[in-house]
Homo-oligomer: A and B are copies of this chain.
Amino acid sequence: MSLRLDTQYADQFVSAGSLEKLRPAAEAAFKKVRDPAERSAQPIGWLTLPEDYDREEFSRIKVCAERIKKMCDVFVVIGIGGSYLGARAAIEFVKGANYNALNKNGPAVYFSGNSIDPDALSELLEICADKDVCVNVISKSGTTTEPAIAFRVFRELLEKKYGAEGAVKRIFVTTDKTPKPGTLKEFADAVGYETFVVPSNIGGRFSVLSAVGLLPIAVAGCDIDAMMAGANDAMKDFADYDFTKNTAVRYAVYRNCLHSEGKAVEFYCSYTPALQYTGEWLKQLYGESEGKDHKGIFPASAVYSTDLHSLGQYVQDGERILFETVLIPDEPRYKLDIPKAALDTDGIGYIAGKSLHYVNSKAFLGTVLAHVKGGVPNLVVSYEKADEKNFGYLVYFFELACAISGYILGVCPFNQPGVEAYKKNMFILLGKPGYEGQTI
């Protein structure tokens, strides 16, 4: 198994018997996720996706990604929420936070349509001005305000640059499978855009291993076969309910235990900036799945050691409402040693010649021990290294654990009714047809 969960730094914070008390709920939750009735009522398609994904579309994604890589300098990915965070998390996890500055074998990948901010969109237009551009718009309905605005803007740009016909070849649409009247799918088919499918049985935040995430991930130069293989490994590893062995079940149980001990905030921590967006993805996955009915753990994230010099003081010694879930690789992507120096004015001569990974691993262990002593439980999730296989594995692990955790908490982990509230108000304020006379 390429992933391990170390609970030794959390056990002392869990009351005697409270793990045992949650085990029946955990077993019921595990069975519920697999129950055919539940799976036809809820969007649980991600559960078997690593096995039953559409091979024809998967091959087409790879072919299409190679074409896009040759055709453009900038690849603009338009999507919000689950149509944004998964792909960005994957690319940064595998290629690092500086992927655009480093990538010499393909286009820069920029994400757009995830806000209504004129500044961010205008900046990206400026970046695209003298570049060749392709666009991937990702939207199930095609009517979500943020991506719809960005798609209009970039469609206009591409049609100006390449003419109507030229633009058609540079626009890729990931949307609903069925071309119902008035949908993006119908529009795309009519115009002739190549389309990919947002699976109807997988919710946005669980969709990174579908075409939603895979096309941008492949364009960024990641090996999506390896990513699916990693998810497939996880699917097999977590197929059976066995509390002592099933890491996804144990993680779900521990975080619920810590929550019931008064830990209101889960702090997802890593020791590499490349995992910043894995943190963002986790915040959506857990926050949106569990934050309802006035329940749920508030998810936050940090990149250490930089944030040890900002939020570290709070973690060590602030209100005791936190627990940490640390993501840590066994090996880094790069090997780099600390140079020797003639003078030791910086006082680090004692670690000169050592690898940064070695020092980083001591920073990690020292931090865990310090925070635990300060009253902050730590759950440590270790993986082999930052590659496609491990990302796929981690995705499946966290998705399954999230579903189980939500059911243990007593909420439906697959809906997000609260997201509509701001949209409804916005539509009323903007005077959207159909909202006349409604009050905020």
Q: Which of these, B143, B145, B284, B426, contacts A367 with CB under 8 Å?
A: B426
Whole-angstrom distance between the Cβ of A81 and the nearest chain B Cβ: 3
A115 touches B273 (CB 8 A): yes
Chain A stretch 114-130: residues in CB contact (< 8 A) with chain B: 114-127
Nearest CB of B to A409, in Å: 11
Whether B310 contacts A152 by the Cβ 8 Å rule is no
The answer to whether residues A182 and B345 also contact, given A115-B303, A419-B312, A426-B363 and a CB cut-off of 8 A, is: yes
Q: In residues 263-316 of chain A, which contact B (Cβ within 8 Å)?
A: 264-265, 271-274, 280, 283-284, 287-288, 290-300, 303-306, 308-316
| Nearest chain B CB to A205 CB, angstrom units | 8
Question: By the criterion CB–CB under 8 Å, are A360 and B118 in contact?
Answer: yes
**Closest Cβ neighbor of A321 among chain B residues:** B264
Q: Does A42 contact B (CB under 8 A)?
A: no
Residue-by-residue, is A346-370 near B (CB-CB < 8 Å gives 1, otherwise 0)?
Answer: 1110111011110110110111011
- Give A291 Cβ to nearest chain B Cβ, in Å: 3
Contact A288 B305 (CB under 8 A): no
The distance in angstroms between the C-alpha atoms of A180 and B250, with both chains bound, is 54
Chain B hits for A153, CB < 8 A: 336, 338-339
Given A116-B305, A264-B264, A422-B363: A345 and B310 interface contact (C-beta under 8 Å): no
**Chain B residues in 8 Å Cβ range of A1:** none
User: Does A421 make an interface contact (CB < 8 A)?
Assistant: yes
Closest B residue by C-beta to A127: B101
Indicate if A196 sits at the interface (CB-CB under 8 A).
no
Q: Residues of B contacting A374 with CB < 8 Å? A: 418, 421
Contacts of A148 in B (CB 8 A): 346-348
Please tell me if the beta carbons of B306 and A80 are within 8 angstroms of each other in the complex. yes
Whether A319 is near chain B, meaning CB under 8 Å from some CB there, is yes
- Chain B residues within 8 Å of A320, by CB: 294
Contacting pair B339 A311 (CB below 8 A):
no
Contact status B120-A272, CB under 8 Å? yes
CA distance A149 to B305 in the complex (A): 13
- What is the CA–CA distance of A424 and B367 in the complex, to the nearest angstrom? 9
The answer to whether A123 and B102 touch across the interface, beta carbons within 8 angstroms, is yes
Shortest Cβ distance from residue A78 to the other chain B in the assembled complex, whole angstroms: 11
B145-A359 in contact (CB<8A): yes
CB distance from A267 to the nearest CB of B (A): 9
Give the residue name and chain of the B residue nearest to A182 (CB).
B345
Pick from B80, B155, B264, B318: contact of A290, CB under 8 Å: B318
B108, B311, B356: the one contacting A117 at CB < 8 Å is B356
Q: Which of A153-205 contact B (CB under 8 A)?
A: 153, 155-156, 182-184, 186-187, 204-205
CB contact under 8 A between A291 and B315, given known A123-B102, A332-B117, A346-B184 = yes
Shortest beta-carbon distance from A406 to chain B in Å = 12
- The answer to whether the Cβ of A429 comes within 8 Å of any Cβ in the partner chain is yes
The 8 Å CB contact of A80, one of B80, B283, B309, is B309
Known: A292-B313, A312-B422, A359-B145. A84 touches B306 (CB 8 A): yes
- A184-B345, A291-B318 known; A356+B419 contact, CB < 8 A: no
In contact, A311 and B334 (Cβ under 8 angstroms): no
With an 8 A cutoff between CB atoms, is A373 at the interface? yes
Query: Which listed residue (B119, B151, B373, B428) contacts A421, Cβ 8 A?
Result: B373
Q: Return the contact of A334 from the options B97, B114, B119 (Cβ within 8 A).
A: B119
Q: Can you show 24 pairs from A to B with CB atoms below 8 A apart?
A: A80-B306, A81-B310, A85-B310, A98-B124, A116-B271, A116-B363, A117-B360, A118-B336, A121-B356, A122-B336, A143-B347, A146-B305, A204-B309, A283-B310, A283-B311, A288-B312, A290-B314, A291-B316, A294-B375, A297-B319, A298-B318, A298-B319, A366-B426, A371-B421
Nearest 6 CB-CB pairs, A to B? A291-B314, A81-B309, A291-B318, A366-B425, A284-B310, A316-B418
